Amino acid sequence: MPSIASLRLIDFRSYAALDIEFSSGAVALYGANGAGKTNLLEAISLLSPGRGLRRAGADLLARVENGMSQPAWGINAALLTEDAAELSRISVGQVPENPRRKQLKIDGRSASGTELARHISMLWLTPAQDRLFTGPASDRRKFIDRFTLALAPDHGTNVIRFEKARTERNRLLSEGVSDRAWFEAIEADLSHYGALVAQARTQTISTLQTEITARKTVFPQSRISLDGYLENQLASGETLSAMTDSYQTFLAETRQTDLRAGRTLSGPHRTEFHVTHMSKAMPAAVCSTGEQKALLIGLILAQARALKQKTPILLLDEVAAHLDAARRAALAAELLDLGLQVFMTGTDQSLFTDFADHVQLLRVTDGKIV
């Protein structure tokens, strides 16, 4: 996997135009609140599959001037391989005639999100994720799905196909349709893709737990698990084929219950991702705010170690702001030891002194970089 050698932005968020070159190691963006640091991280995150770290629609990303959105925004990046032997380019931009859509190109040709996932792997941690353990279960599923996508590039496509089948089944349920043939056709797709989604998530959790247990740091270790209809079957030793058949049978058996509810009540769309502070045997949801932040950082570092061979790019927004001096130093040591490209933000340059001269320091002010 490559690192980002340079980036060009056009009419994106607070940036009218930007051309910047990056180090292949640690990059620290510092400046006042509202200067545009997170906007830059968001632009980088859009070089990976999905809707970026803010999950904003394409029509909400264009720069606004005098109350008017600019015609279209664009992001262009040059990616350098680890041995600096090859240079490839990724372009992401808004479609002017259809502002709600964005287009993706790799080396000048149109590409899919699955193909992009094979070119670049990215992990991020933002202040919004501080509520991960106490917020809705859907946020936790998205968190583990992003890591799963880094391990299994087809996972995103399988999630989309599962959701498409679920939406179609929910439509039949809400309209009170009782045609058995229609349901059976949709449930065949629902069970097939649902089983693939559950299997990929389960394998991801196993990989991540192994990495968490293998290394002790100042950041607390966690015990992680999935709780869902399909994932529980996998945990009991069920094969993918048997689980697919079992889920399809279950969907048929519970069709009347789902008809009364007007929606599909069981499946990977209801799976819960549980995190426990290992040494305290305490659910993350009831840990202190500081412990939750430390658990999150520990999870991200474990993910990065598990993916090290794929050289993921890390985006850490305001990650050091609420850490004490010992944990800031430990975080710097961990990140330098990983040897990955990492983009960090902070309001003050002093937050990155533990990186010594192993960091590229960039001051952000009013949509410009010094």
Q: What is the dihedral of CA 63, 67, 68, 70, to 10 degrees?
A: -10
pLDDT at 320: 86
pLDDT at 227: 97
Q: Each residue of 204-223: pLDDT tens digit?
A: 999 999 999 998 889 999 99
Q: Each residue of 62-84: pLDDT tens digit?
A: 999 888 888 899 999 999 876 65
pLDDT at 85: 61
We find that the CATH architecture of domain 130-303 is: Up-down Bundle (1.20)
Q: Each residue of 100-154: pLDDT tens digit?
A: 999 999 999 999 988 898 888 999 999 999 999 999 999 999 999 999 998 898 9
pLDDT at 316: 97
Instruction: List all residues 6 or more positions away from 62 whose beta carbon is below 8 Å from its beta carbon.
Output: 11, 12, 69, 70, 71, 72, 73, 94, 99
Q: Of 36, 3, 224, 235, nearest to 133 (Cα)?
A: 224
Which residues in the chain land under pLDDT 50? none
pLDDT at 271: 97
Say which residue the tokens 């279950």 belong to: 250
Q: Of 147, 120, 124, 149, nearest to 5 (Cα)?
A: 120
| The residue type at 21 | E
